[in-house]
Amino acid sequence: MKDYVDRWHTTDGVRLEMRRMRLDDAPQVKDSLNQLSAKARRNRFFAAIAEFSDAAVSKFVDVDPHQEHLLVVVRRENGLEIPIAGGRFIQQGDGTDCSFSLLIGDPWQSQGIGRRLLKALLREAAQRGLRQMYGHVLADNQPMLRLARSLRFSAIDSDQGEGVVKIVCDLPDAAWRRRRTVRRGPSWR
């Protein structure tokens, strides 16, 4: 299993790496989650969360790789990998669709990290043969809605309550994806 998905430098020269989440990331993930602003917590979890416990963080990082795909974006500081963002999808129902979520640390928002994460999730979901990806977004989370629209997600009514929008993207089937790769290069790059 390939660990690193992407490596790049931000416009101000910080080296970032996107890779699959590992169980031993839990302590650093907990520290990063507990540094999030109230707004970032609300945008991701739709609720105010005072502090993330070890048990809650364990649920985030301990996934079934056959049903879930979990990525983390890290920066290196003093020899440590510091999580700054993450994204995941979870296969739903009969295994033909998946729900996704993204979380970007406050200082790292609006730098294209969410786009890279979501593209990587879309690629993996399509490679697994999934047909559709969806997520629930607060209606006032305009940066996430703009990102979704730019990647061809549609916005529809959500069953998650007032103020929540469901965004949906149909994924290409395997035959279409092979033809597109041959003719135009890989999709979502």
Domains of the chain: 4-184 (3.40.630.30)
Please enumerate in sequence order all residues whose Cβ is within 8 A of that of 96, keeping only pairs 6 or more positions apart, or say none: 130, 131, 132
Tens of pLDDT, residues 3-20: 788 999 998 899 999 999
Q: What's the predicted TM-score (pTM) here?
A: 0.88
Tokens of 94: 């009969």
121 burial type by CB count under 10 A (0-12 exposed, 13-18 middle, 19+ buried): buried
Residue given tokens 């929540």 in the structure block = 164
Cα-Cα end-to-end distance for the chain: 20
Tens of pLDDT, residues 38-78: 999 998 998 889 899 999 999 999 999 999 999 999 999 99
